Amino acid sequence: MAKLSVDQLDLSGRRVFLRVDFNVPLDGGRVSDDTRIAAAVPTIEHCLKAGGAVVVASHLGRPKGAPDSRYSLAPTAARLAELLGQPVPLVPDCVGAEVEQRARELRPGEALMLENLRFHAEEEANDPDFARRLAGLADVYVDDAFAAAHRAHASIEAITRYLRPAVAGLLMARELAALGRIFAGAERPVWAILGGAKVSDKLGLVESLLPRVDGLLIGGGMAFTFLASLGHDVGRSLVERDRVDEARTVLERARSRGVPLRLPVDVVVSAGVDDLAHLRTVSVREIPSDLMGLDIGPATVAQFAQSLKGARTVGWNGPLGVFERDAFAAGTLGVARAVAECGAFSVVGGGDTIAAVHRAGVAPRVGYISTAGGAFLEYLEGRELPGVAALDEA
């Protein structure tokens, strides 16, 4: 169901509790990648220009339910202020008498940021009393944190029991619209690309995709469990032995459905990520017993690109090799270029995958780049996301 969006509300004179995901990397007390902060700016600017006052709330890292200066949101508040061109003071907590007073004193067009929600264990526990205290800070709830929408936490799910309307921010609305285009009325053929290290993280996703896609491309470390299930000797490559039978079953289901499921035909191997002396490209039938596959090879890139040529919709999550090392990045970069060149509407999610399309120089030619990782995967798997389910229907 479509969700009510913040641009459908009258915000004049109202305080907005805006849940964002500013769980961003820090370096020396400064934000080193402000992508998620910048992505929330349009929603904040909309609320301020509409005459609202904004209480910005987020988590950062895993502070284990207690204040920890290493996880203070001060750097994100400073960066947000720079992007907005106006002050965004950080209050010392997210609940309590001082926070309530500071929120009450906000005037239309002003914003403040709460300190890290996870400084309270009640946040991750989805505690109703904590959620009620958060709800008391505002008149309207807006969720722009799609990247955290798979978490049933107090500021995401429980708060909506006490604060209505509860609506999607502009970023959340864009995410839902883009991901919806992958399946709901998607232009066919639909292809999915999956990578990453562990097959256990994505077997459920592969199974759920089979009835909904016209083809699957699988690379990365997870591909070796599938290759092992076909009887290939994959040397020292990453294989989850307890998942081999499940992988074989998935391949059989794809075959019975007539859904092409392409695996690598060649790989780049070496003794490890730091070993370049033994680096070479071999067929998946010829992986030496003492080496491991660390990237898909050029024949696989060409085969994957050929498969995508007829696609009209593409979803991609997960690198196809040890992308962070230059020696093993060519496969992921090659597929990034193939996605951009195939002419399909494409949606890309996950940190490494997003980095790949930027590094390949094709980000402007990708249909939509999601800010989410885990939520992106759970959405593709067909799971209900608590942060989405809690919002008002349009």
373 Ramachandran zone, left/alpha/beta (phi>0; psi -120 to 50):
alpha
pLDDT of residue 389: 94
Alpha helices in the chain (DSSP H): 35-49, 74-84, 97-104, 121-124, 128-135, 170-183, 203-209, 223-229, 244-257, 298-308, 330-341, 351-359, 374-380, 386-389
CATH number of 6-172: 3.40.50.1260
| CA contacts within 13 A on the Cβ side of 19 | 33
Residue ranges matching CATH 3.40.50.1260 in the chain: 6-172, 186-380
Q: Collapsing DSSP states into helix, strand and coil, what is residue 213?
A: coil
pLDDT of residue 1: 58
Active site residues: 36, 198, 351, 374
Q: Are 336 and 217 in contact (CB under 8 A)?
A: no
Q: Who contacts 262 (Cβ-Cβ below 8 Å, separation ≥6)?
A: 215, 216, 217, 218, 303, 304, 307
Q: Are strands 292-296 and 266-270 parallel, antiparallel or unpaired?
A: antiparallel
User: Running DSSP on this structure, what letter comes out for residue 343?
Assistant: -
CATH number of 186-380: 3.40.50.1260
For the entire predicted model, the pTM comes to: 0.85
pLDDT of residue 372: 79
pLDDT of 226 higher than 80: yes
pLDDT tens-digit readout, 130-175: 999 999 999 999 999 999 999 999 999 999 999 999 999 999 999 8
Q: Collapsing DSSP states into helix, strand and coil, what is residue 104?
A: helix
- What's the rounded Cα separation, in Å, for the pair 350 and 318? 6
